């Protein structure tokens, strides 16, 4: 191998080394760019997730505040209804003399509190007073089935009170179901002693 051939081989080897160096350099730059791009993408997604979490947290806080505001509004409405009911719960007592003789007078009570107010008060806080008032109002309005319904509601809250039993019996009699009325009052008398119910039973038998 002569000197010229050796020089050509050295030149080719040198060019090969240069190409390989450039290739590895480009590969290194490409890897670096990919790593940098991946890092930036990761940071971007992380920031987006953080922003989303903050937005969701803020949304949840707003929903909680709205829920609290609704609860407070409902409480205020119930309190307002109760205040109205308390102001109106004293019944007007009207005496009607149905006879010119000295026979006992019939006392009719009319309540200023409206049916919706009493129903609202009962369903907000189930209580005997509202239920028995509703039973009496429906009885006065000749809606005897609803009178029975509310007398039973009152009875569920206080089985000892004779008033709910009497309203139930009166409404049943008004519907022509006298036997059921007698049966209910007799059942009451088997557990409790009441002159009023005893007298009422004597009248209807």
Residue 96 has pLDDT above 60, yes or no: no
Which is nearest to 165 in space by CA: 203, 142, 136, 197? 197
At residue 110, the 3 state secondary structure works out as: strand
Read off the pLDDT band of 106 (50, 70, 90): very low
Please report the pLDDT score of residue 113 as a whole number: 61
Homologous superfamily of 113-204 = Tetratricopeptide repeat domain (1.25.40.10)
> Which of 118, 122, 121 minimizes the C-alpha distance to 91?
118
Does pTM surpass 0.85? no
Looking at residues 62-67, what average pLDDT do you find? Answer: 75
pLDDT band at 83 (very low <50, low <70, confident <90, very high): low
Q: 158 pLDDT band (50/70/90 cuts)?
A: very high
Domain ranges of the chain: 113-204
Per-residue confidence at 180, pLDDT binned at 50, 70, 90? very high
Distance CA 121, CA 117 (A): 6
| Interval 51-78 mean pLDDT | 75
């Amino acid at each position: 191998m002569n000197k010229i051939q050796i020089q050509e081989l050295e030149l080719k080897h040198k060019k090969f080394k240069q190409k390989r160096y450039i290739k590895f350099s480009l590969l290194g730059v490409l890897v670096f760019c990919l790593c940098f791009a991946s890092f930036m993408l990761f940071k971007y997604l992380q920031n987006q997730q953080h922003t989303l979490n903050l937005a969701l947290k803020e949304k949840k806080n707003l929903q909680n505040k709205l829920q609290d505001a609704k609860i407070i509004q409902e409480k205020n409405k119930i309190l307002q209804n109760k205040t109205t009911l308390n102001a109106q719960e004293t019944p007007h007592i009207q005496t009607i003399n149905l006879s010119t003789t000295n026979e006992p007078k019939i006392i009719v009570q009319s309540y200023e509190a409206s049916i919706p107010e009493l129903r609202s008060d009962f369903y907000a806080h189930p209580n005997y007073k509202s239920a028995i008032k509703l039973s009496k109002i429906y009885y006065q309005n000749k809606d005897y089935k609803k009178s029975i319904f509310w007398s039973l509601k009152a009875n569920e809250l206080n089985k000892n009170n004779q008033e709910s039993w009497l309203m139930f019996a009166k409404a049943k009699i008004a519907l022509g179901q006298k036997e059921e009325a007698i049966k209910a009052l007799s059942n009451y008398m088997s557990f409790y002693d009441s002159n009023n119910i005893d007298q009422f039973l004597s009248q209807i038998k």
